[in-house]
Structure 1
Amino acid sequence: MRVAVIGGTEFIGRRLVETLVRRGDEVMVVHRGHTEPDDLVKCAHIHVDRRDFSTVAGQVKAFRPDAVVDTIALTRADVDAVLSHLPDVHLLVLSSMDVYRSYELYLAGDDTPMPVPLTEESLLRHQRYPYRGTDREADDYDYEKLDVEPAYLARHGTVLRLAMIYGPRDPQQREEFVLRRVRAKRMRIPVGPGATLLPRLHVDDAVAAMLLALDRPGVSSGEVFNIGEAATYTIRGWMRTILAAAGHEAELVDVPDDLLPDDLGITRKTAQHLLVSSQKARSLLGFEPADPAVAITRSVRWHLEHPPANEDTGFAADDRALALANAGPELA
């Protein structure tokens, strides 16, 4: 198969490119050229800013791809810059679980939750642009997967709504809120209830789902698929699995939500779960994700061997929360 990948040099896109090349596919990566790793597998490259995609559209068509994968369509402008210039082949675009109404309620802390598990037919968000007015606004002001999906579906493309992706080279360092405390040998970690079911997915399982969709265009074209793990831990269960994988014992100490350090806010009390069903992908594509305990262990071991260069080593907020929790409710 000949596959053109838009944005294939970081995390999910890089893992996809590596896997495609390993299995013998011909790959062309279309990217800005700002983050081209020296150790990226050998394949064809076109360097161009996404906004100028029209200037290289002829080169992409000359490659004669059987499929095009867009890994970084985040906004309406991203779609407008590229989609009309793509050849008439199978298209696959990555989306997110954040399109659902339940995610909107989760962000808002709403106490009237939507039912779970979420299927591809579940209610979508009422409001657009979920990160406006948040600490992500500067980077994601126009981010909106609900502006991306319909245009690709109109071209009979495949949409994969991915759960929270983790694994080697994860730029968001999903496990770091626990691992930085492991490295510091912290024996007590302040947490909230941590009862939320928040779906995750190892990057290798995300790539496996992408390959299944690419290999079965007759089944996947024009379809939306939820792609999540086989079983979902609560936040506390996830933390304990990370600790076990790291070989570190630590007590999870209950503290009030208003005392939680910022990076432990994910453990706060919430009414809305984000549990998703991947049954459609399992039935139609044969998607079978790894045991999450095994996948988390693989990821944790990689991140322990590759700590972040800018690791946060401050624990004043932890110490304050633990001290006030020990002092009792009248002082906390």
Structure 2
Amino acid sequence: MKALVIGGTGPTGHLIVNGLIGRGYAVAMLHTGRHEVDEIPPAVEHIHADPFSEDALKQALDGRSFDLTLAAYGRLRRIALVMRGRTGRFISIGGAPAYRGYMNPTVLEVRGMPMPTAEDAELVPVEEEDAKGWRVAQTERAVFEIHPDATHFRYPYLYGRYQIGPREWCVVRRIIDGRRRIIVPEDGLSLSHAGYVENVAHAVMLAVDKPELSSGQIYNCGDAHQLTIRQRVEIIAEALGAEMEIVSMPWQFAVPARPMLAQPRTTHRVLDLSKIKSQLGYTDLVAPASALAMTARWLKEHPLAPGGIDEKILQDPFDYRAEDELIAAWKALCAKMPEVKFDREPGYTATYSGPGGRPRSSKWS
């Protein structure tokens, strides 16, 4: 069996390539050749061409065919066209921004995406609403017009080795720099779906293993267990042996937290994984807390270049002077908040039984 992986040097690429090899495929990788990944075995064929150029793809693949093509990089619509008649199966990777409200939650009548968001949720309908999301959605439609039996994955934000512009670096670098406090919006309680690279690659391999079930399907993928921003900060700090003061502010004041939030709202972005769980049997290979800790330690051992391309993608200036000034101003403002007395102090409802809740009305065993 012959497989073509278009891409293969990104965060999930080597995991997919090795997963295919383990299943008996002879694998060829088509990529630019600008960099290689140590985890790719020498037996893998490397086809160096521009995945963004239709002419380059046609020339590089002239006279060749494959049992399986997995498109993880490049212009997906052009790749789908070039591979028509050249491949038995076509698996493509896109992204969650196809969903309406993912990038622009204000367009929804009730602000924020459905919780959780299933595969049949509304996609971005017009370019004016969200140009990137609209292009992603249009590409999905084009793939299935060309390959009706394709399998398509909507990736969330990824974390792990080789991720470009990793948001975890916002915490890791501060710890490396000796910072012991970090600003988060709204107590850091926002959920934005993420997927550890090994877990997401595992999801793709499940589709490879189950062609009859996955044919013609779109799947959300990512970690089954999601972590809030606060939890992510706490896990990273513990993994690196640091104690971090988490300073919570309203989102409009928590400007330094924008790169971690990655959107101008604190609304949740959580994908429904029911379909991939029920049809393909997905479960997390690696627990997200452990995966995040490993990612933090790897970033500490392989630090990003200060001011380099990854930090430019993150858009985190690591401006500690401004952060300290903001924290001081916020704490001073909170200290000035007067104590307001209620005639009858509000409770947490009569059904709440945790600390500070309703006392027992009678003794029973």
Tell me whether the two structures share a fold, i.e. TM-score over 0.5.
yes
Give the alignment of 1:87-236 within 5 angstroms: 87-106=86-105, 112-128=111-127, 144-154=135-145, 155=147, 156-193=149-186, 194-236=188-230
Distance 2:281 2:214 in 1: 11
Distance 1:295 1:130 in 2: 35
Q: Which has the higher contact order (CA 8 A, sep 6+)?
A: 1
Q: Secondary structure of 1:257's partner?
A: coil
Q: CA deviation at 1:221?
A: 1.1
Distance 1:31 1:129 in 2: 32
Name stretches of at least 5 consecutive residues in structure 1 with no aligned partner.
Answer: 133-139
Contact 1:17 1:27 in 2 (8 A): yes
Q: CA deviation at 1:330?
A: 9.5
Distance 2:259 2:14 in 1: 30
Q: Secondary structure of 2:62's partner?
A: helix
Among 67, 77, 82, the residue aligned to 2:79 = 82
Distance 1:28 1:8 in 2: 10
Q: Secondary structure of 1:297's partner?
A: helix
Q: CA deviation at 1:329?
A: 5.6
Aligned to 2:354: none
Q: CA deviation at 1:115?
A: 2.6
Q: CA deviation at 1:246?
A: 2.2
Q: CA deviation at 1:151?
A: 2.2
Q: 1:269 to 1:240 in 2, by over 3 A?
A: farther
Q: Rg larger in 1 or in 2?
A: 2
Higher helix share: 1
Name stretches of at least 5 consecutive residues in structure 2 with no aligned partner.
Answer: 308-316, 337-365
Q: CA deviation at 1:22?
A: 5.1
Q: Please tell me the residue identity of whatever aligns with 2:60.
A: V
Q: 1:57 to 1:269 in 2, by over 3 A?
A: closer
Aligned to 2:69: 68
Deviations 1:93-121 (A, max 9, x none): 10111111131443779863343111111
Contact 2:14 2:37 in 1 (8 A): no
* Residue 289 of structure 2 is aligned to residue 293 of structure 1: yes
Distance 2:169 2:329 in 1: 24
Aligned to 2:242: 248
Aligned to 1:317: 322
Contact 1:257 1:265 in 2 (8 A): no
Contact 2:7 2:73 in 1 (8 A): yes
Distance 2:109 2:257 in 1: 21
Q: Please tell me the residue identity of whatever aligns with 1:302.
A: W
Q: CA deviation at 1:276?
A: 1.3
Question: TM-score w.r.t. structure 2 length?
Answer: 0.78
Distance 2:9 2:324 in 1: 39
Aligned to 1:136: none
Aligned residues: 317
Distance 1:303 1:190 in 2: 20
Contact 1:96 1:161 in 2 (8 A): yes
Distance 1:129 1:36 in 2: 38
Contact 2:5 2:72 in 1 (8 A): yes
Question: TM-score w.r.t. structure 1 length?
Answer: 0.85
Contact 1:197 1:274 in 2 (8 A): yes
Q: What is the percentage of aligned positions where both structures have the same residue?
A: 27
Q: Secondary structure of 1:253's partner?
A: strand
Q: Secondary structure of 1:103's partner?
A: coil
Aligned to 2:302: 306
Aligned to 2:351: none
Q: Please tell me the residue identity of whatever aligns with 1:72.
A: Y
Q: CA deviation at 1:58?
A: 2.1
* Residue 57 of structure 2 is aligned to residue 58 of structure 1: no
Distance 2:198 2:39 in 1: 18
Distance 2:71 2:333 in 1: 52
Aligned to 1:275: 270
Q: CA deviation at 1:153?
A: 2.0
Q: CA deviation at 1:150?
A: 1.5
